[in-house]
Amino acid sequence: MSKQEYTVTVYTENQVGLLNRIAIIFSRRKINIDSLNTSPSEVAGVHRFTIVINETEDVVRKLCRQIEKQVEVLKAYYNTNDEIVWQELAMYKVPTDVIAEKVKVERLLREYGARAVAIRKDYIVFETSGHREEIDALIKALEPFGLIEFVRSARVAIIKTSNGFHEKLKEFEYREPSEEVIENEYLNETEKEKIFSM
């Protein structure tokens, strides 16, 4: 099995220390996290982690089970890049005089769909969003013109086939413990589409 990029989406309770609990699942196995984002989700009170790693599916599946095992984790999914819509946001600080003087730069920024978010006498901050390659391409293009500072955000991703977490959460929330709980329903269905394969 070969390694590839996987995006792990984790729905959790919002609790201090949970980030550490999840992060050590990776670090314990000496797996590097390429990108990590935490944010609110579509459901109030539920947090969403988006974690990008480069690993084999076998490893990712086991990681997701270890993540789901944590008491405050509601659900963990993993997806390949073609199963998600994803974006990263980047900001570039460029000297104003260069931009003002060189028409070429302006054309470049248009081409990459960059937007100015701060304009000052000495520098301008542009932002752009997209896939990593697109963002990286703009850095390359801007470098000769004196790129002062650059920063890129973690990946955020939407799972194409997901119906959101509302229904799922209702199951988690309102079921009395004695009732049947549907979980890990995908555990044994490896033949099934890889989406939601936990």
Partner 1 sequence: METIHKIKSNTSEQKTSKPPLQGTERENISGSEAVMRALACEKVDTIFGYPGGAIMPIYDALYDHVKKVNHILVRHEQGAIHAAQGYARTSGKVGVVFATSGPGATNLVTGLADAMIDSTPVVCVTGQVYAHLLGTDAFQETDVINITTPVTKWNYQVTDATEIPSVMAKAFYIAGSGRPGPVVIDITKNAQLQKFDFDGYKKIDHIRSYRPKPIVRKKYVEEAAKLINSAEKPFVIFGQGVILGKAENEFKQFIEKGGLPTAWTIMGMSAIPTDHPLAVGMLGMHGNYGPNVLTNDCDVLIAVGMRFDDRVTGRLDKYAKQAKVIHLDIDPAEIDKNVKTTVSVWGDCKETLPLLTELIEQKVHPQWLERFHEFQKKEEETCIIPELNPTSETLSMGEVIKLLNELTHGDAVMVTDVGQHQMVACRYTKLNHTKSNITSGGLGTMGFALPAAIGAKFGAPNRTVIAVIGDGGFQMTIQELGTVMQSQVNIKIIVLNNNFLGMVRQWQQLFHDRRYSFVEISSPDFVQVAKGYHIDGRCVSKREELNDALTAMLDHKGPYVLEVMVGKENNVFPMVPQGCSVAEIRLK
* Site residues for partner 1 per CB under 8 A: 12-13, 16-17, 20-21, 24, 28, 42-46, 61-62, 65-66, 68-69, 71-74, 164, 166, 169-170, 172-173, 176-177, 180-184, 187-188
Q: How far apart are CA 76 and CA 63, in angstroms?
A: 9
> By C-beta, is 66 or 162 nearer to partner 1?
66
Of 32, 128, 144, 46, which is closest to residue 87 (Cα–Cα)?
128
> By C-beta, is 136 or 183 nearer to partner 1?
183
Q: How far apart are CA 5 and CA 52, in angstroms?
A: 7
Query: Maximum CA pair distance of the chain?
Result: 72
> By C-beta, is 121 or 177 nearer to partner 1?
177
Q: How far is the CB of 47 from partner 1 (least distance, A)?
A: 11
> By C-beta, is 54 or 184 nearer to partner 1?
184
Contact at 8 Å (CB) between 53 and 148?
A: no
Q: How far is the CB of 8 from partner 1 (least distance, A)?
A: 15
Tokens describing residue 100: 């003002």
